[in-house]
Amino acid sequence: MTATHDPATIVDLDRYPLGDPAASSALAASLGARLRDEGVAVLPGFVRAEAVDRIVTESDALAPDGHHSRVTNTVYLSAPDDAFAPEHPRRRAVVSALRAVAADQIPATSPLWALYDWPVLREFIAAVLALDEIHPYADTLGKLNIAVMGPGDELGWHFDQTDFVTSIALRGAGGGGDFEVAADLRTADDERVEHVTAVLDGDRSAVRRWPFDPGTLMIFAGRSSLHRVTPISAEPARLVALLAYDSAPGTDSSERLKLVRYGRTA
């Protein structure tokens, strides 16, 4: 995709001087430490208000053509497994429902493509993650998308199947739609089932609710952190742009994921 916008007109570079190597490196190091400690790194006001307004207008126009899905999974994004006890997280079902506008539905002239294709932003995100580089997704539907959540939609508690997610908050819902995180609830070697079960049972001691401020760039370590978006109760719809990158080149989504999220595979 080729966009016509200069990223400098979209990003508040006075507040976040990504073009200054020393300042950008210091900022990335600070955010990387927060990401390791809290599972989330946020940059409020990263996207200028006027650019957010344009993207919101675009998103509202595109939303009717997005695919609405409602799925029942476990927190591991798998089907409930009757081999486990009823209270076990691998058997307990959670519901997720949203409308997704796929990458090929977003106009090439959108400011979102200017951000997604901007090498400076990719280099900055990689530095926050302490990676040498990150690469655009090969998924032509999911590399960039807009999540639209209206009344009745929600994202149930779950862990992501990718190490990190980059998102831009565009508009909060008229009611509900809170992003809640229980950071670092599991590790690669330990599912820590008792902690996951506690959250599902309503224990909020490990849960943090993050504010939704339009224009915020968020880098989130979702593989290890249990998280959800609470049910939407009122219009307007909640809007979030999702920018998909990976540490390895050529990464694609599964056919099943594409079919569920976008209603098609190509």
- For residue 222, pLDDT beyond 70: yes
pLDDT at 63 (0 to 100) = 98
User: E strand or H helix at 25, and its extent?
Assistant: helix 21-38
Determine, yes or no, domain membership for 207. Answer: yes
The closest of 82, 96, 123, 33 to 227, measured between CA atoms, is 96
Determine, yes or no, domain membership for 2. Answer: no
Q: Rounded to whole angstroms, what are the CA distances from 178 to 88, 222, 242?
A: 25, 16, 17
Q: Tell me the per-residue pLDDT of 158-212, one tens digit each, with 9 for 90 and over.
A: 999 888 999 999 999 999 999 999 999 999 899 999 999 999 999 999 999 999 9
For residues 135 and 225, what is the distance between their CA atoms, to the nearest angstrom?
23
Q: What is the CATH number of the domain that holds 187?
A: 2.60.120.620
Determine, yes or no, domain membership for 104. Answer: yes
Give the bridge partners for 68, in sequence order. Answer: 99
Q: What is the token pair recorded at 96?
A: 């997720």
What is the band of 257 on the pLDDT scale with cuts at 50, 70, 90?
Answer: confident
What are the φ and ψ backbone dihedral angles of 27, each rounded to 5 degrees?
-65, -45
* Stated pTM of the model: 0.95
- For residue 153, pLDDT beyond 90: yes
Determine, yes or no, domain membership for 157. Answer: yes
For residues 38 and 142, what is the distance between their CA atoms, to the nearest angstrom?
26
Determine, yes or no, domain membership for 1. Answer: no
List the single range of 5-9, 46-50, 89-93, 182-186 with lowest mean pLDDT. Answer: 5-9
Determine, yes or no, domain membership for 107. Answer: yes
The structural domain count of the chain equals 1
Determine, yes or no, domain membership for 94. Answer: yes
Q: Tell me the per-residue pLDDT of 96-150, one tens digit each, with 9 for 90 and over.
A: 999 999 999 999 999 999 999 999 999 999 999 999 999 999 999 999 999 999 9
Structural domain range at position 165: 7-262
